[in-house]
Structure formats: structure tokens, C-alpha cells
Structure 1
Amino acid sequence: MCINAFVIATLISIVAINQLHAEEANEKAAELNHLIGEKSPYLILHARNPVDWYPWGKQAFQKAKKENKPILLSIGYSTCHWCHVMERESFQNKEIAEFLNKHFVAIKLDREERPDVDKIYMAAYQAMYQGGGGWPLNMFLTPDLKPFAGGTYFPPNDRQGRPGFKRVLATLAQAWNEQGDEVLKSANDIHRGMSESLIKSSVAAGEITGNDLAEAMKFLLQGADGKHGGWGMGTKFPQVCHLRFLLRHWYRTGNKEAFKHARLTADKMMQGGINDHLAGGFHRYTVDDRWLVPHFEKMLYDQAQLLDFYLDLWLITGDLSYRAVAMDISDYVLREMQHKDGGFYSAQDAQSEGKEGKYHCWTLAELKALLSEDELKVATRWYGITEKGNFLDHSDPEPLLNLNVLHIAEPEWKTTAQEQKSLDSANAKMCNARFDRIPAATDDKVLADWNGMMIAALARAGIVLEEKKYHTAAIKAHGLVKAKLWDGRLLYHRWRDGERDQSQQAASYLQMIAASLTLYQTTLDAGYLDFAILLAEGARKLFYDAKNGGFYVGTDRPDLVLRLKDDFDGATPTASSQAAYQFLRLAVITGREDFRKIGEKTLHGASASIKASPFSFTEMMSVAEMELGEQPKLVIAGKETSSDFIKARFQTYRPHLLLTGNEGKVDAFTLTLKPKDAKTTAYYCAGKTCQAPVTEVQALGKMLGKKTP
């Protein structure tokens, strides 16, 4: 792992950001389209395309209506591999751009800035083409924003069974000009069908039983990869929502197979190439089932969720390797993903100098020139480095050759003291050499939802790992989000370069509730609880479906042709899953019946979906695990030694135990619990029934206990 590289890595991150700023500022370098004034790094990357791109907004919509042209809505994000490929192949192609500009109004959208818009058109694509999807998502819309055709990645010309973008554009332009009425009818039919499906999906709520969760777990384990961990036999994502459910279910039921698969997956991921063995942090996914060869982008939300997961495993098992991974993730985020004023950047790209993996991979020749004979011997064995390499970018017409993705090739190898010394020395040299390379770009926008996830994870890590810097970073980030994205009434979604956007997203509210509750529990500062309550009241007003339960992705806006809810827990939890969890937690802490009803209605509204498709709702099933348990809370009365009691609570794996003080907007019963004999006192309570209070930290530790696999 890279040691003492904070200054170097920070400079690297700043260089990457400044490259984006330089492109934004240097308006004389090339002819510009309408994206140059945008704040999204992804949109700025397209600002010099010959395509006359517009951002999502009134100007583009009015142009389409005035000129009676269809819209190409191209959705992606800055670290998307195939987005880069299509930009290089098609959007820089002057012939394609000329045709596109003549026959369409072209709109570029950063899905991370507007997940509500992305959700609509991804759902439309899946409805039109029976599933699938991905990014870039290229949808063709009528001037009133209704979709009539679409696709994901298109090569410029027909290739390997994929239609070429040139042919797609020509075909759709001809259809619009010659069969416009039929195209409009098709778009209206698609829109009507999606609207009707929303009505049909509003089914009656029902309780989720222990048997329902047992059947879901059986289904989940049947589809698991028992050799390499995770799920599936091809491309693999961490799927932390699944992993979290495995641990929650094991905790309640003692299901050893659930825990076994969670641990297998954790081990295989931390050994594989998806884990950055030099700098820390995890890449987004691998293209194989062994976790070996990743696409090299790193996403903030993955770091947050995987940090939480490895903290869980460290607490459950006491295995130091999980603690080390948790620290590596935390150190990486603080070193390379932290804004100087607090808050965290969104992602780091897979490409450096236009080449996938160039920043992260190694050839054997490079290592021979860099390392001593002893270092080379142990490093090549440990990381499985060969002359041929194990990675080739098939999407690159001129790929780099003989690249090696670092992975733990022999995890059972017990190195001698001298071998470990040589490996540590090799790692240090490789770190320094890698930091001298031109880095992958950093997407430096600050998103409220992903920051909420990272704040909660780091606040917990600071207590669990006894590393104050992590907790301090969480507090600082919370302060930045509150200062830059909260106006006292609304929480905005994105902040970058001194400016916030104008959209509200449910995930931002709900993840910042989670962050605020974690900071409240780790500090007992009632201000964090107050802010969580404010956000909950705002989320209810803006996103809650009071009739059917559940939470919409975004607010009710004129630029949305439909208003949708997330229908599966994917790379991040759905808004509804998070809402059910956070509102139920708030109900336990505050005693507010309105919060409890919202949480229960949202959870129970997913019962039919859980039974029909358990793979899609694993985060919601984790919430159900909480509801089936006792929902206890630990009340700390007194402040003199409260930090010791807080530490004792968080250094035990008790996933549903909430910690509160006895002051502020807590429930009426909690306000009656006072310190005993003028000493800080801990009360373990379920409802209004409490065990005998304790005033010694050791006694609290015994009370909390420890469950082992």
C-alpha cells in the first residue's frame, strides 16, 4: 500500500481537475457548442465536439419544437468506458456531427447530475427492448420529450451485429420526415404504456415475514458463485446491497451459508484486481467472474459501501485483513477524493492519456527496470505478473500490450520476514513510480447523496478503527454539504466550482439523513438529529407517495414526462429502501408516529415485489430484517465519558442498535432517563422496557455481547 503519499496524490488529483478547468476556460482552442458553460466534467468533455450539444433544458426543448426536429438524448457519466469510446468514434466524427446537427437537436446529460431524468429514459429503453440497458444511453425523443427509439453504445458503422450510428441516425431521420405521424403515435403509445404500468404496479401492501426472507435468501444463494464469490459467471459488480442482506440475515437467523458467501466474496474481491493493491480503493466492476480484470474507474459510492461492508466483517471476525482493507479505502478517499474544504469527489476515470488501465497496470519490463532482483522475484510471484500480461483493451484500436493487473495470485503464500520486507519495498517503489505517471482524471463534482454515504461510512470507521482523522473528515464533509447545498429549506443535489445545481433528488435527502444520524450517534450532538428531522420532513413533502407508499426519484417538474420510483436496489440502494430504513430509525429515536407509518408503509409496499423478484430488493430486505428484530436503542445519559460508551457500542456488530442521548428531540420516554449516581449511564431499551442501567464501559461491552459465525 502507498505510504505517506498524501501530498503527491493530492497534487495528482488537482492536476486532473485543473485539466478539466483549463479545457473549460480555453474557449479559443476550438469551436464550442452549448455545453461550455456547464459545471459537469462529463458535459465539459463534450464541449468541443463538432456535435452541437445542448444541456438538458428549455433552450434545447424550444429549439426542437420550433424546428420540429426529434431529439437525441445521450446520457452518460465521466468515468463511463463506452461513453468515452462512442465520444471518440462518433461524436468527434465531423460527418456524423454534420448529419446529427442538421436532422436532430442533440442533448447531453450527466446521469449523476439528473438521476431522475436518467431513470425515465432507462425505464423506457427497458420497456421498449425487454430489459437490458447501460451507458451511454442514446434515446430518441419527440419535441415533447416522449421516447420512440433508443440504444446504448453504437459503433460509427455496422460492426459485429451492432447497427452503426450513421445508419441509425439516417433511418430515424427518414422515419421522422416521411412517417412523422406514425412516429408520434408510437411515442404516445410507449408513454401511455409506461403510465399504465405505473398504475398496475401500485399493489396492496403486505407484511414481510421471516419465511419470506428465508425463501429470498435461498433464492439468492442458489444464484451465487460458490467458487469466486458474488453472483453471475461473467461481468461482476460488488453488489453491496446483496452482501449487506447476507450479513443482516445471518445476524438474525444464524444462517451460516449466508455468512459464508459474504466472506467468500469479501476475500475474493480484496485479492482480485478489482482492489487497487497499491493506492487502496475498489474499481467499479470486473469484466470476468474472478474479480481479476476491472474497468478501472473508481466511484465514491462503491468506496462508501465497501468500507461499511469490510468494517462489518472486521467486527464480526476480528480478521486483521478486513481491517486493513477498510483503512486502505479510507486513506485512499481522504488522500485522493477529498475536496480541500471538505466533501468528496464523485469518481476517478479509468483512462489516462486516452488509454484504459495505463495508470494502474504494469509490464514485466517496467518492473525489471524499477525493482531490485529480490523485490522483482517476490512481487512477480505475489501479484501474478507475467511477460504476456493479463489485460488487453479490445475496444482500443491501438491497445497497450503486455499489461498486468495486480492481484494476489497466491493468497495462501506465507512470506518470510525477508520476503515481506522485499515486497514492502517493491510496493513503495511501485507507488512512487505510479504517482509519477499522468493520472486518470477526477470528476470533482460533489454530490449530496454519495457524500452522505461516504460521511456515514467514515464517521463509523473513525470510531471502529480508532482513527480520529476519518471521523474528522466526515464532520468536515457534512459541514460543506450543509453550507453549499442546503439553503434552509431545500437540499440541492450537486455542487462544483463554487456553484450548486437547481435540482432536488430523493437520494440526496435520504443519504444525508443517514449521514446525519450516524454523526449524531457518534457525537451525541443534537444538531445532527435536528438536521436529519428537517431533511425527513422535506423528503416527505417532496418525494413521498402518500397514496401508494414509496418515494419518487425526483420532484414533480415540468421537464419530466413521467415521475418514477426506483424499482430495484442496484449499485446503490433505491430511494424507497433508504426511506424505509431512515424513517423507521428516526421513529425509534424520536418516537414520532408519522415517521413510523411512512417507514412501514414504504417497506410493506414492497412485499409483493420482494416475493416476485428478491434479487431486485435486497436492501429493502435488510430493512425487513430490522423490522423483524427487536429494534433496540442504547441511551447514553451524561456526557463526561460518553465517548467511551459510544466506542463500546460501535466496536460491536449490532446492525440495528440505535444510540441516542437523553436530550433534544428524542422520544418522551428517553428524556426521563437520567445519569445514575452522577455518572454517565447507559440504558439498553426496547420500547419502554430497559435492562438494568450500567455506568461502566466494561459492563456495557458484556451487555452488548458478540455474535460469532
Structure 2
Amino acid sequence: MNEKTVPPKHTNRLVNEKSPYLLQHAHNPVDWLPWGDEAFEKAKAENKPVFVSIGYSSCHWCHVMEEESFADEEVAGLLNGNFVSIKVDREERPDIDALYMSVCQAMTGAGGWPLTVVLTPEKKPFYAGTYFPKRRMMGQVGLMEVLEQIRLKWETDSDKLTRLGDELLSEIQAAALKNNEGEEVGLTDELLHHAFRLYTTLFDETYGGFGQAPKFPTPHNLSFLLAYSQAFDKPEALRMVEKTLESMYRGGIYDHIGFGFARYSTDDQWLVPHFEKMLFDNALLASAYVEAYQITGKPLYSEIAESVFTYVLRGMTSPEGAFYSAEDADSDGEEGAFYIFSREEIEEALGAQDMHSYCHVYGITEEGISQGYSIPNLLEGLPEELADKLDMNPLALRTRIEEWREKLFAYREKRVHPSKDDKVLTSWNGLMIASLAKGAKAFQKPEYAKAAGAAADFIWNRLRREDGRLLARYRDGEAAYLGYVDDYAFMIWGLTELYEATGDAVYLERALVLKDGLLELFTDEEEGGFFFTGKDAEKLPIRSKELYDGAMPSGNSVAVKTLYKLAAITQDVKLKGVAERTAAVLAKAAMKYPASYGMFLQALLALTSGGKEWVLSGKKDDPSLHSMISLVQKAYLPEASLIIHWEDQAAELTALLPHLKDKPAIGGAATAYVCQDFACREPITSLDAVRELLAKKEQETK
């Protein structure tokens, strides 16, 4: 006899949403509404404050707060009777999250998720915090207490709370305007050197990374230091990056069984992660490992980057080729349960003899990190460093390790998996497209470009309206939410990298179309730079402009990087001016603390070096041309752009780039033109000359 499925006791309006995060709350007793006019009109009609809870599907403490409070009848009774309650997925509505997170930081000095804010019916915030237990616990105020106090205050003096909301918004607006105050900062090398000095003071000599626990990878900082090390011949910058990249790989933040990186480490040595895996982290980290390989030639870095690509293409890619957003930290109700092992489980998977060797290599101990469970790690040394202790040669050990990994992967697959957030975010897909395209170039693996192209085609075909307006999220057949500046900037980046990896002009054409949309919808005509939301977006109390590079780079920083590159490719002096004006806005903000502007610093480095452009012209079936392309693609050229000019299929490309008519294949031979600041060297037709030019340090010591 089949058990009957028991229908849920409660169902609220979130059941009609597409967001996995909102759907997680669809059967709470709280009468949740999605963000929208209906909720705020209801608040006005009933004269109630608006309780807003913002989070995302793979957020551990969001799950905790749901279980403790939002699934609780008593909490629901207080909320339903006295508030209008709204749930927001921060990954769908980063504009709402950014605005009210700035309020939380202003009020409390801290932020995080779940983000809890209480608003007037006019969207003015007067209370903010993050996670609250249901009742007061270890000195932390409880949600029931907070809600009761707000209820009483609203009933007795709602006008005062409204005035507080006005004051808070004024403070946030004033803080944002401070970035535009002060003297202009020149776009010079000094900001780059200032940033490098700051990174050296923050660097953890023991375990790599910057600052204290919790430690976030922030790979765009590493990418800047890689570029800086080459531009200014600073081996110390390269050393810091290598130490960090190797330490992260050795720790538990890297999944040594299934690949990919977790969100961050809770300790200094990268051992115990916060276990969720995010697409954007893995995209940016793979990119940094690709760049480290290009500079050093060390196989370890290419292996790590390719393992991340394996993880994403195996488990984070939709049947249509788009990339999913995240995997949860929790499985079976416990954080990290999917990833940890006891010695007994290792023995069950590998057998007694191999268990001892595996546990020795990967730090699996009897006591473990908690209750006899360990996180596989290489803190004691890389396999080649441990081979002697195991009386094995390094090559044999590597072979054995891969056999162990495959067995443990199969063993782990039988466990309850963490939930997957299968929504497709345009911005994060742009980052992964860029990373895969870089991998395709560096490793000469067209399968990565093919995967990036499938995702790019998905975004182009499924996440644009008929009028060409880019949208931010796709799930379950629905594309929704007007794209933000990140969506435009990150996709332009991905498409330009993909063009360089394939020579397919359609990707360059799409990048130029999105560039026009970026300029039209987001430009701040008065102060420079780009607003986070388009001029056609919902009007929030403040139209924010995100400048600093946090866990993810800002759309403004990536815009500088990509617009400057497109200006070089198209020889558009006006576009170069837009990039420089935006850079000036960022430079003024970055002077205060440049370590928070790693992506902008990369863009600034390209600007101050003048950028470079490689144009490779010839016939598509000419092996010499393909050899030239391969040499340039594999080289580390962070400040350069690459134009692949198939002369026998040139109509589409020359329509976009008329200046290519002046850069033919000389005498029908494959020809390289190397240009800087719109001026070109003598053309090169010798493969050896191209190789020599790439091997030579072109940049003078600054």
C-alpha cells in the first residue's frame, strides 16, 4: 500500500514564484508575499509596517532562521497580524539587497544574510539586522522581542519611524556622494603601487590570503597582483598569489573528491569551509588559476582550473548549456554532511589498506574536526611531497590518488545531495563564459569555448526581450527582472573573451550591442560611472551606484575593463573616453582603500599601460595563422586584446571593424599587427618573430 502524500498545512503566495529560495518558504505559516506593488498597497491600506527578509537558497543561516522562526506558528501569528511580510531572493533582486544592506551596515556596522529590514509602506527603512533567533539567546535579541517592540512603536508613533526612515536614506545618499568628493585622482601608477603596499601588509605569510578568518578567496585581488607582478617586475606580488592559490587548494575549501571551491573558509588555514558552492566564485577562481598557469607554466594550476571546469560542466550546467547558480551547504538537514568523512567510511569505500594511505595523505584522523569526521585536505603537503613517506614514487601515487578519488566520488554520490539552485543568472553566466573562454585559450581546448558558446547562446536567445533588453534571471521557462549593470558588464566581458577564443565575429557583435545598452540605460551623466539599475527599472528610494569590488567585482570595474578593450578593438576614441571617465570615478573611491577595488585595479593597469592590440590576419585554412593565434592565445596578456581576421571570411568582421581593411595578410602570408594607443608596429609575418615578441618583456620598468 502506497503512503499518501500529506498535503502541506500552509501554503502562501510564494508558491507561484520561480526562485528556489522563495519556494523554500512557500509552505511557511507566515503569509509571505513577493516584493511588488501588491504588498506595499496592502501595507498602506492596512497601515502596517513591512517586514522584509532577504536571503538566497544556499545560505545556511537563512535555513536556520526559517526553521526556528518562519516555520513557527507563534512567529507567524505575530507577523501575520501586525506586518505585511515580504521575501526577497537577493540573487534575483540585488538592487533591493544592495540598498537595504547599506542601511543595515549604517545602523549596525555589519551586514550579512539573512538580511532583515522593516520598512514603512513607502519603502523607507527604520530597522535592520541580520539573523535573529526566535527568542533571546546568549545575549542576542530574539525576533519575537524585536517584532513586539516594533509593533508597539508603530501603533504609538509611526510618524517618528517614518522620519527615521527619511534620515537613514539621507545618510545613505550622503555616504554615496562622498565618493565623488575631493580632488580628482589622476589615472596613474601611484594608485597601483599604493594598493600593492596595502596587500603586503594584509598578507598572511603562514597560510596565504589576506586578513584574518573568515577568509574569502576574492580572486580578482589575486588577478590584479598577477598582472602587477608582471607589469612592474615584482616577484613578491607573484609569491603572495602562488602561496594563496596553493593554500586554498590544499585546504578543505577545495573539494578534493568532486572538485570546485566552497564559498569561504571559517578558519585561517582554509580547512573548514562554509560549504555552499557558488558559480561566481568558481568562475573567478578558475580564471585566476588559468592566469597563474600562463605566467608560471606550473601544471598544478592548470589541473586545478580544469578540475573546476569539470565540476561546473558535470553538475552545474543545464541541458541547454546555461550554468546554474549554486549548491547548498546543507544536506539532510546538516551543514557539510555531504562532504565530510570518518575513517570507517573511507575504509568502506577503499578497503583497509588503501584507507590508511588515503587518510595519511588527506588528513583524515580518528578525532576529525568534529565527532570523528574530517574534511579531506592536503595541509600536510602535496602528494609529491608525501610520496617518500608512503614509499611510493610520485607518479604512482598520483595514479593511486585518482583511483581513490573516483571510488570516493562514487561512494559519496549515494548520499543525500545538497540542494541545487538551478536558476540561471545572466551576470554569473557572463563570468563563467569569460573563465571558460580564457581556459580555452590558455590550454588550447576548444571544448571549453564550445561550452562557453552554448551558455552565451542561451543568454542571448532566452534572456533578452524582443526589444533587446537584457534580463537577469531564467528558471523553469521564465525569464524575468530587468538586467542590472552587472548583467551587461559581465556578459560583455564573457563575449569578448569568447570572441578571442573562437574568432567568431558574432560574439564581438553581441558585445557591441550590449555595450550600447549599457551606455544608454545605466550612465550617470552628471557624475560619471554607471548606476546599478537601468533608467527603466523600478524606482527605489535611492538609485545606487556600486563601486567597490566585494566578493564579486562591481559592474563599474568590469565596465572599465571591457569598454577600454572594446575601444581598442573598434578604435573608438569616444568609448575610450567613457572608460577613462568611469575609471576616474572609481579611482577617487579606491584611494581610500584600494584593496577593495581589485578588479578596478586590473582595469587601471591596462589603462596606464596604454593597452595593446594584436591583429592576426590570414586565411582560415592557413596553418601558420592558426599557429600564430595559438601562441597569442596561450600567452599571458592581461592588458591586450586579440582580433582574429579571417580574410577569406571577413565581411561580418570588417563591417564591425572597418580599420581591418588596412591590416591585410601581406603577400597572402599570416600576418601579425601589434598596436598600442591606435599606433601599430611594422607587421610581422614570421612565426618566430611573434614567438620572440611574446617572450620578451615589452613593458618598461615603471
TM-score range, shorter chain: over 0.9
Contact 1:375–1:423 (8 Å) recurs in 2: no
What displacement does 1:28 show? 4.2
Does residue 687 of the first structure (1) align with residue 677 of the second (2)? yes
Counterpart for residue 543 of structure 1 = 522
Letter of the structure 2 residue corresponding to residue 93 of structure 1: D
CA contact (8 A) 1:378 1:423 kept: no
Structure 2: gaps (5+ residues): 646-652
The match for 2:177 is 199
The answer as to 2:355 corresponding to 1:376 is: yes
Residue in structure 1 matched with residue 568 of structure 2 by the alignment:
588
Matched, 1:409 2:399: no
Highest relative contact order (Cα 8 Å, sep 6+), 1 or 2?
Answer: 1
Deviation at 1:419, TM superposition (A): 4.4
Rounded Cα–Cα distance in structure 2 between residues aligned with 1:494 and 1:674: 42
Of 640-649 and 352-361, the range deviating more from structure 2: 640-649
2:115 aligned to which of 137, 162, 170: 137
- CA deviations on 1:401-447 (whole Å, 9 max, x unpaired) are 32211101321323514544543332221111011111111100001
What per-residue deviation string (whole Å, max 9, x for no partner) do you get for residues 166-208 of structure 1? Answer: 1111111111111212111111111222233333432354313
In structure 2, the residue matched to 1:298 is 277
Alignment of 1:562 with 2:545, yes or no, is no
The one of 145, 156, 159 aligned to 2:137? 159
CA contact (8 A) 1:456 1:518 kept: yes
Question: Structure 2 vs 1, CA of residues 175 and 597 (structure 1 numbering), >3 Å: closer, same or farther?
Answer: same
Deviation at 1:372, TM superposition (A): 2.1
> Is the alpha carbon distance of 1:461 and 1:515 closer, same or farther for their aligned partners in structure 2, counting shifts above 3 Å?
same
Asked if structure 1 preserves the Cα contact closer than 8 Å seen for 2:654 and 2:660, the reply is no
Q: 1:502 Cα shift?
A: 2.9
Closer/same/farther in 2, CA of residues 643 and 436 from structure 1, 3 Å limit:
farther
Q: Which moved more, 1:188-197 or 1:227-236?
A: 188-197
Please state whether the residue corresponding to 2:253 is helix, strand or coil. coil
Letter in 2 for 1:198: A
Q: 1:182 aligns with which of 157, 160, 164?
A: 160
* 1:310-325 to 2 correspondences below 5 Å: 310-325=289-304
SS at match of 2:574: helix
SS at match of 2:482: coil
2:456 — aligned with what? Answer: 478
Separation of aligned partners in 2, 1:101 and 1:463: 55
From 236, 242, 245, give the equivalent of 1:257.
236
Letter of the aligned partner of 1:512 in structure 2? M
Output aligned runs, 1:211-222, within 5 Å: 211-222=190-201
C-alpha spacing 1:549/1:369, structure 2 compared with 1 (3 Å): same
CA shift, 1:698, in A, is 4.0
* TM-score normalised according to structure 1 size: 0.92
1:489: Cα distance to partner?
Answer: 1.9
| Residue type at the aligned position of 1:552 | F
Instruction: For residue 369 of structure 1, give the secondary structure of its aligned residue in structure 2.
Output: helix
Contact 1:376/1:426 (CA < 8 Å) preserved in 2? no
List aligned pairs for 1:436-585, cutoff 5 A.
Answer: 436-487=414-465, 488-556=467-535, 557-585=537-565
Shift of 1:103: 0.8
Change (3 A) 1:575 1:205: farther
Please name the residue that 1:386 is paired with: 365
Shift of 1:211: 2.1
Cα separation, partners in 2 of 1:666 and 1:656, compared to 1, 3 Å:
farther
- 1:627 aligns with one of 603, 607, 623: 607
Q: Offset of 1:611 from its aligned partner? A: 1.4
Residue 228 of structure 1 pairs with residue 210 of structure 2:
no
Preserved contact between residue 632 and residue 657 of structure 1 (Cα < 8 Å): yes
Counting only pairs closer than 5 Å after superposition, residues 53-72 of structure 1 correspond to structure 2 as: 53-72=32-51
Partners of 1:533 and 1:149 lie apart in 2 by 43
Q: Which blocks of at least 5 consecutive residues in structure 1 are unaligned?
A: 1-25, 393-400
1:82 and 1:153 in contact (8 A); partners too: yes
Which residue in 2 is equivalent to 1:658?
Answer: 641
Paired with 1:200 and 1:685, the residues of 2 have a C-alpha distance of 38
Query: In structure 2, how many angstroms separate the alpha carbons of the residues matched to 1:260 and 1:86?
Result: 42
Give the Å deviation of 1:145.
0.3
Deviations 1:354-377 (A, max 9, x none): 111111110112112222232111
TM-score using structure 2 length: 0.93
In the alignment, residue 149 of structure 2 is paired with which amino acid? Answer: T
Greater CA deviation, 319-328 or 458-467? 458-467
Q: How far apart, CA to CA, are the structure 1 residues paired with 2:398 and 2:462?
A: 46
Quick one: distance in 1 between partners of 2:572 and 2:157? Answer: 57
Q: 1:381·1:409 contact (CA, 8 Å) conserved in 2?
A: no
Q: Does 1:612 align with 2:582?
A: no
**Distance in 1 between the 2:488 and 2:403 partners?**
45
2:221 to 242, 258, 275: 242
Give distance in 2, aligned partners of 1:489 and 1:262: 40
Query: Which segment is superposed worse, 293-302 or 557-566?
Result: 557-566
CA distance in 1, matches of 2:340, 2:687: 48
With 622-631 and 321-330 compared, the bigger mean Cα shift is at 622-631
The residue that corresponds to 1:348 in the other structure is 327
**TM-fit CA distance, 1:695:** 3.1
Distance of aligned partners of 1:245 and 1:688 in 2 relative to their CA distance in 1, 3 Å threshold: closer
Specify the code of the residue in structure 1 equivalent to 2:387: K
Would you say 1:88 and 2:71 are equivalent positions? no
What does residue 280 of structure 1 align with? Answer: 259
1:670 Cα shift?
Answer: 3.5
**In the alignment, structure 1 residue 423 sits paired with structure 2 residue 401:** yes
Q: Supply the distance in 2 between the matched residues of 1:197 and 1:282 (Cα, whole angstroms).
A: 34
Q: 1:192 and 1:113 mapped to 2: Cα distance?
A: 26
Instruction: Please say if residues 316 and 707 of structure 1, whose CA atoms lie closer than 8 Å, have aligned partners that are also in contact.
Output: no
